[in-house]
C-alpha cells in the first residue's frame, strides 16, 4: 500500500483514537458503573438484549441465555447471549452461544437437560444440554411468506460453552402461521415424553416428542380466552402445588395489550394431562402489572422450586431508553408460589431469598403513627442506589413511599384505597422525553383481602419492583433519574399506623 505522509499520520491518529475509545469503553464496561447501570440486575456488558432464553439449571449452575444483538444497542439479527450464575444473584457473561445461520436469526426458546439421552446427542456418558429455539428467516419475512418461523434444536456437551446445531433442522415446520415461535420444552414425566408449549399467533399449540427431533401436535388453547390485545409470545408451562394439590400454570406473554400498555405477562391456572390444558376459570391474570416486565418464563430443572425471570423492558420504548453502552436488563429472579386468596387461585411472586446475600446495613422503624409527609431520617446521606424497602401498614388506607433525590426527581409507589389499586408514578422521576408514553402513573388492582398492607420494593439505579401483599400484586417499572433516588418519605392521606418499615442497603452484584 502506498500512503503519503499525511494519510499515514491521520491513519495512525485514527487507529490510536479508536483504540483509546475502545479501551475507555472497555474500562467503563468492566466496572459496570455507567449512568443507569443496574447494580442488582443482570444486564449485558454491551449492546442490545431482550427476552431471557434457554433458562436451565445444570450442574449447580443457572444458565441464562438471552436475545442479543452484538452489533448495536437496538434490536437486530438475533443471537443467543449467555450468562451463568451459581446463586441467581452474581452473573458472569460468557461468549455468544448461538449465531444466526442460513435458516435465519435465533429467536426465543428454551433449553433442557436430556438426562436420558433421548436425543442421542450425548456421547461418552456426557449428558447433552439441548436448546430448542425459533429460526426466524428474515428473507421469507421480507418476501411476505407466512412460514418464515420454524423450530430448531442445537446441543452442547460442555455446559453450554459451545453448541452444535442439528443437521435435520428445522425439527418443527411452520404450517403457515406468521407468528409461530418461542418454544418452551419440558419433560412430562407421567407420559415419558417432551412437551413443547408454542406461541402460535393468538393461541398456544402443544406438541409432544420422544426425542426432541420429531414433534406431534397435541392440542390448542386460548383463542377465545385470556387477553388478546396483541400477539401471544414466549409461553411457559409448569406445575405448582397448593396444599398438597397439583396445578399447572400456563404463562403467556402478550405484546401489545398489557394492563398498562404495551408488553406484559399473563397466566392461567389449570390442569394439563399431557395433551390438553384446561383452565380452572376464565379470568385474565397478570403476573406483573407494571409497564416493564416482559417475556418472563421460568428456569427448567429446578425441581419443585419455580424461579421466574423477565426482561425489564417494554416494546413501546425499549429501543429508545437513554443508556449508551448497552440496552436493558432482566428483572430480579422471583420465586413463584400458588396462593388461594378467598377462592381466587393466584400466582404470587417474591424476590428470590438469595438476594439477602447482598444485605449491607438495615434501618428499621416500628409502630409509628404517620399523619403528614414523613421524611425518613437517619439514613446515610449516600444511601446506596440499590436497596430494599419493606413497609407494613396496620390498616388498608392510602399510603405511599416517595423515593427522591437532591434534584427533586421523584418516584412514588403507593396504594389508593378508593380505587383499591396500587400505583407507581414516574411522571417526575427523571429523563422521559425519549418517548411520549414513558412518563405516567401506572396502576394495578389489589388482589389480596388481607387487613393490612404489605409492600416490598426492590430499588435499583434505574428500576423499582413492587411486590405487594406477599407478591399477589407485582409491578415492575424502570426510570432514568439523573442521581440515585436515595431520600425516602412516607406520604399518608390521613393518619396511618406504620407497623414496620425496614430499609436494607444492598451491595452491588458486580
Pick one of 43, 110, 134, 404: the residue that binds ligand FRU (CB under 6 A). Answer: 134
Pick one of 39, 43, 67, 169: the residue that binds ligand FRU (CB under 6 A). Answer: 67
Q: Which is nearer to ligand FRU, 316 or 448 (CB)?
A: 316
Instruction: Enumerate residues 6+ apart whose C-beta is below 8 A from 451.
Output: 395, 396
Nearest-approach distance from CB 333 to ligand FRU, in angstroms: 19
Tell me the C-alpha distance between 458 and 407, whole Å.
Answer: 22
Residue-wise DSSP of 90-126 = S-EEEEEEE--BTTBEEEEEEEEE-TT-TTS--BTTB
Tell me the C-alpha distance between 75 and 78, whole Å.
Answer: 8
Residue-wise DSSP of 293-361 = -EEEEE-BS-TT--EEEEES--TTTGGGSS-SSEE--B---EEEEEEEETTEEEEEEEE-GGGGGGEEE
Q: Which is nearer to ligand FRU, 63 or 135 (CB)?
A: 135
Q: Of these residues, 33, 51, 292, 420, which one is catalytic? A: 51
Nearest-approach distance from CB 106 to ligand FRU, in angstroms: 9
Residue-wise DSSP of 368-423 = EEE-S-EE--SS-TT--S-EEEEEEESSS--EEEEEE-TT--EEEEEEETTTTEEE
289 and 444 in contact (C-beta within 8 Å)? yes
* Beta strands 285-288 and 277-279, pairing class: unpaired
What cell was used for 286?
Answer: 397478570
Count of residues that interact with ligand FRU, criterion CB under 6 A: 12
Pick one of 88, 234, 249, 477: the residue that binds ligand FRU (CB under 6 A). Answer: 234
Tell me the C-alpha distance between 161 and 264, whole Å.
Answer: 31
Q: Which is nearer to ligand FRU, 295 or 477 (CB)?
A: 295
Is 107 a residue that touches ligand FRU (CB under 6 A)?
yes
Nearest-approach distance from CB 172 to ligand FRU, in angstroms: 15
Residue 415: other Cβ atoms inside 10 A: 24
Active site residue 425: no
Q: Which is nearer to ligand FRU, 107 or 387 (CB)?
A: 107
Q: Which is nearer to ligand FRU, 50 or 118 (CB)?
A: 50
Burial of 347 (0-12, 13-18, 19+ CB in 10 A): buried
What cell was used for 416?
Answer: 389508593
What cell was used for 193?
Answer: 415424553
Is 78 a residue that touches ligand FRU (CB under 6 A)?
yes
Is 307 a residue that touches ligand FRU (CB under 6 A)?
no
Is 327 a residue that touches ligand FRU (CB under 6 A)?
no
Pick one of 48, 51, 338, 352: the residue that binds ligand FRU (CB under 6 A). Answer: 51
Is 316 a residue that touches ligand FRU (CB under 6 A)?
no
Q: Which is nearer to ligand FRU, 234 or 447 (CB)?
A: 234
How many angstroms separate the Cα of 92 from the Cα of each of 42, 82, 87, 381, 510?
A: 9, 9, 11, 31, 9
11 and 19 in contact (C-beta within 8 Å)? no
Extended strands (E) in 44-104: 47-58, 61-69, 79-85, 92-98
Nearest-approach distance from CB 255 to ligand FRU, in angstroms: 6
Helix (H) or strand (E) holding 496, with range, is: strand 496-506
CA atoms within 13 Å, Cβ hemisphere of 492: 20
Burial of 158 (0-12, 13-18, 19+ CB in 10 A): exposed
Q: Which is nearer to ligand FRU, 171 or 348 (CB)?
A: 171
CA atoms within 13 Å, Cβ hemisphere of 123: 5
How many angstroms separate the Cα of 337 from the Cα of each of 43, 237, 254, 282, 456?
A: 26, 14, 22, 20, 16
Here's the x/- map for ligand FRU, 154-193, by CB under 6 A: it reads as ---------------------------xx-----------
Q: Which is nearer to ligand FRU, 75 or 247 (CB)?
A: 75
Q: Which is nearer to ligand FRU, 51 or 114 (CB)?
A: 51
Nearest-approach distance from CB 223 to ligand FRU, in angstroms: 18
Residues 274-303 within binding reach of ligand FRU (CB under 6 A): 295
Residues 390-419 within binding reach of ligand FRU (CB under 6 A): none
Q: Which is nearer to ligand FRU, 119 or 328 (CB)?
A: 328
Residues 330-359 within binding reach of ligand FRU (CB under 6 A): none
Nearest-approach distance from CB 264 to ligand FRU, in angstroms: 11
Residues that are catalytic: 51
Q: Which residues of the chain form contacts with ligand FRU (CB under 6 A)?
A: 50-51, 67, 78, 107-108, 134, 181-182, 233-234, 295
Amino acid at each position: 500500500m502506498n500512503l503519503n505522509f499525511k494519510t499515514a499520520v491521520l491513519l495512525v491518529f485514527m487507529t490510536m483514537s479508536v483504540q483509546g475509545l475502545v479501551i475507555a469503553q472497555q474500562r467503563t464496561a468492566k466496572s459496570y458503573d455507567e449512568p443507569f447501570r443496574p447494580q442488582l440486575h443482570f444486564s449485558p456488558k454491551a449492546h442490545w438484549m431482550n427476552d431471557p432464553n434457554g433458562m436451565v439449571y445444570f450442574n449447580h449452575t443457572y444458565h441464562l441465555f438471552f436475545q442479543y444483538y452484538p452489533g448495536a444497542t437496538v434490536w437486530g439479527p438475533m443471537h443467543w447471549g449467555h450468562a451463568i450464575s451459581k446463586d441467581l444473584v452474581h452473573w458472569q457473561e460468557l461468549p455468544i452461544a448461538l449465531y444466526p445461520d442460513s435458516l435465519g436469526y435465533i429467536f426465543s426458546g428454551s433449553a433442557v437437560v436430556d438426562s436420558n439421552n433421548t436425543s442421542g446427542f450425548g456421547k461418552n456418558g456426557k449428558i447433552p444440554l439441548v436448546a430448542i429455539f425459533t429460526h426466524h428467516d428474515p428473507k421469507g419475512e421480507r418476501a411476505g411468506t407466512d412460514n418464515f418461523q420454524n423450530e430448531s434444536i442445537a446441543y452442547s456437551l460442555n455446559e453450554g460453552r459451545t453448541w452444535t446445531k442439528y443437521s435435520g433442522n428445522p425439527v418443527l415446520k411452520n404450517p403457515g402461521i406468521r407468528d409461530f415461535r418461542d418454544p418452551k420444552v419440558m419433560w412430562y414425566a407421567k407420559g415419558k415424553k417432551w412437551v413443547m408449549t408454542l406461541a402460535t399467533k393468538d393461541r398456544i399449540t402443544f406438541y409432544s416428542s420422544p426425542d426432541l427431533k420429531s414433534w406431534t401436535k397435541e392440542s390448542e388453547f386460548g383463542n377465545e380466552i385470556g387477553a388478546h390485545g396483541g400477539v401471544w409470545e414466549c409461553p411457559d408451562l409448569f406445575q405448582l402445588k397448593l396444599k398438597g394439590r397439583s396445578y399447572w400454570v400456563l404463562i403467556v406473554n402478550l405484546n401489545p395489550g398489557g394492563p398498562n400498555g404495551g408488553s406484559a405477562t399473563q397466566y392461567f391456572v389449570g390442569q394439563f394431562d399431557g395433551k390438553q390444558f384446561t383452565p380452572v376459570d376464565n379470568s385474565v391474570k397478570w403476573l406483573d402489572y407494571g409497564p416493564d416486565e416482559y417475556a418472563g418464563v421460568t428456569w427448567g430443572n429446578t425441581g419443585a422450586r419455580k424461579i421466574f425471570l423477565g426482561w425489564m423492558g417494554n416494546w413501546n420504548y425499549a429501543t429508545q431508553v437513554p443508556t449508551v453502552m448497552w440496552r436493558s436488563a432482566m428483572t430480579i429472579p422471583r420465586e413463584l408460589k400458588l396462593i388461594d386468596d378467598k377462592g381466587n387461585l393466584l400466582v404470587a411472586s417474591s424476590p428470590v431469598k438469595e438476594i439477602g446475600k447482598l444485605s449491607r446495613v438495615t434501618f428499621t422503624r416500628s409502630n409509628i403513627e404517620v399523619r403528614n409527609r414523613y421524611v425518613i431520617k437517619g439514613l446515610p446521606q449516600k444511601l446506596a442506589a440499590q436497596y430494599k424497602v419493606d413497609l407494613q401498614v396496620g390498616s388498608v388506607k392510602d399510603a405511599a413511599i416517595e423515593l427522591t433525590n437532591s434534584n427533586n426527581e421523584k418516584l412514588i409507589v403507593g396504594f389508593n384505597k378508593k380505587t383499591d389499586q396500587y400505583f407507581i408514578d414516574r411522571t417526575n422521576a427523571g429523563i422521559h422525553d425519549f418517548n411520549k408514553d414513558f412518563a405516567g402513573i401506572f396502576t394495578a388492582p389489589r388482589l389480596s383481602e388481607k387487613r393490612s398492607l404489605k409492600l416490598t420494593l426492590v430499588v435499583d439505579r434505574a428500576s423499582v419492583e413492587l411486590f405487594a401483599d406477599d407478591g399477589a400484586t407485582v409491578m415492575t417499572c424502570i426510570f432514568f433519574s439523573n442521581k440515585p433516588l436515595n431520600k425516602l418519605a412516607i406520604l399518608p392521606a390521613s393518619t396511618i399506623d406504620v407497623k414496620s418499615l425496614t430499609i436494607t442497603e444492598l451491595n452491588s452484584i458486580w
